[in-house]
Amino acid sequence: LAALEKGTGDVVLKFEPFVLHVLCQELQDAQLLHSVAIDSGFRNSGITVGRGGKVMMAVRSTHGLEVPLTHKGKLMVSEEYIEFLVHIANGKMEENT
């Protein structure tokens, strides 16, 4: 909160969700890992096959958060709301674990 008071620009609270990229030897391996990721709740996961035949499996969560807090140095939300957002972001971090 003290840093927000000193700022003159725009500030955004951003939480990036979990991402894991795995290079797989076979497409079957990627498909198995994809199935496990989806069943585990990582709904934004996918498989990419490159031109050279590389098979990449991305395990991704959908638990992102991006909320503007200040605009041109002016606080646009209450301190109580910032505390609420931090609580939500910490919960999302626990979900990533």
**12 and 43: one domain?**
no
Unique residue bearing structure tokens 């000193």: 6
Residue 12 has pLDDT above 80, yes or no: yes
Residue 56 has pLDDT above 80, yes or no: yes
Tally Cβ neighbours within 10 Å of residue 17: 16
- Could you tell me the residue range of the domain that residue 76 belongs to? 1-17+63-96
Q: 18: which DSSP letter?
A: P
**55 and 73: one domain?**
no
Q: What predicted TM-score, i.e. pTM, was given to this entire model?
A: 0.67
Pick from 66, 20, 60: nearest CA to 43:
60
**53 and 76: one domain?**
no
Residue 54 has pLDDT above 90, yes or no: yes
**28 and 40: one domain?**
yes
- With contact defined as beta carbons under 8 Å apart, do 62 and 46 qualify? no
What are 22-44's pLDDT values in tens digits? Answer: 999 999 999 999 999 999 888 89
Dihedral of the CA atoms 79, 85, 90, 91 (nearest 10)? 140
